[in-house]
Amino acid sequence: MFDVVCPLRWSDLDAQGHVNNAVIVDYLQEARVAFLRSGPASDLLDSGVVVVSHQVEYQRAIDYSDDGVHVTLGVAELGAARILLAYEIRQAGEPAVRARTLLCPFDFDAQSPTRLLPAYRGFLAGHRMTAEPLREVAVPALDGRGTRVPLPVRWTDLDAYGHVNNAKVFDYVQQARITATTKWDPTMARAGSRESRHLWLVARQDVDYLAQMDHRMDPYEVLVAPVAIGSSSITLATEIIDPVSGAVAVRGRTVLVCADLDGRKTPLDDVTRTRLEGHLVRPVP
């Protein structure tokens, strides 16, 4: 396993005064880069590696602290052209986040996956760990259904490879979610607003990266829809689409938990439930 302390920034906090859920993926990325840079797999970052997917389970809020957070990671699975990393983030000794990242070595010139070189494989194998899989969050394909939200890409969103950074996509999913849910039900407005009656806590956020996103002057398009409604939680599906080609670049799955203004889990009220049901997307028979 590999351990790193990731410092926090005051700007990492959200309207509730905790580290924003989307920023957590920045911490995973910082730990992952530190891990790869610590050995021969450092060259993998320079030659090319892409994130195929993230699974992030939020167990408790992370508060601002000068002590930062402690990230432990290791290699849960190692294939010919795939690396599954498992992480745990702790603050003050308490578990806060469990996560998984699937990586693939990639040749950007040929636009195709490549096999791991023996030197990389030996280094990664030396950091193998046993990690219990995170449960799958199943959602249907939206197939053009859902609320449409425009998504402009900023030049600063790009990574060293010239494409949208994987962590930035969590910002996109969050922005589209807030825009859509507030449109469906104004009482789901962001915390601290006049209309807000509850807190909406992100319990789980998964993202699959299907295609690279480039900078462009015209916006991409995001589809967002509730796909499951529980007693005190909702599951949302999100797709980021190139409106020119219609190709799906990203698929996301989000589990939101309804809480009172003190952060205690609470049932959905009838008004919110009815409004959400009006936008519910079910699997196509």
**Residue bearing tokens 């021969």:** 40
Q: Phi first, then psi: give them for residue 183, nearest 5 degrees.
A: -70, -40
Helix extents (H) in 158-220: 166-184
Instruction: Provide the residue count of the chain.
Output: 285
Average pLDDT over every residue of 88-116: 94
Grouping H, G, I as helix, E, B as strand and the rest as coil, residue 257 is strand
Q: What is the mean pLDDT of the chain?
A: 93
For residue 34, give both structure tokens.
């530190």
DSSP string computed for 6-20: EPP-GGGB-TTSSB-
Instruction: Say yes or no to pLDDT of 196 above 70.
Output: no
What is the structure's pLDDT at 15? 83
The pLDDT tens digits of the residues spanning 258-273 come to: 998 778 899 999 999 9
Question: Which H or E run contains 39?
Answer: none
Are 221 and 149 contacting, i.e. CB atoms less than 8 angstroms apart?
Answer: yes
Query: Residue 276 — pLDDT band, cuts 50, 70, 90?
Result: very high
Both structure tokens of 251: 């698929």
Q: Radius of gyration over alpha carbons of the chain, in Å?
A: 19
What domains can you pick out in the chain, each with its CATH number?
1-135 (3.10.129.10), 137-285 (3.10.129.10)
Evaluate the CA torsion angle 86, 236, 174, 67 in order and state its sign.
negative
18 residue type, one letter: H
At residue 18, φ and ψ (nearest 5 deg) are -115, 165
Band (170; pLDDT cuts 50, 70, 90): very high
Of 108, 104, 114, 67, which is closest to residue 84 (Cα–Cα)?
Answer: 104
**Predicted model pTM:** 0.94
Tell me the three state secondary structure of residue 44. helix
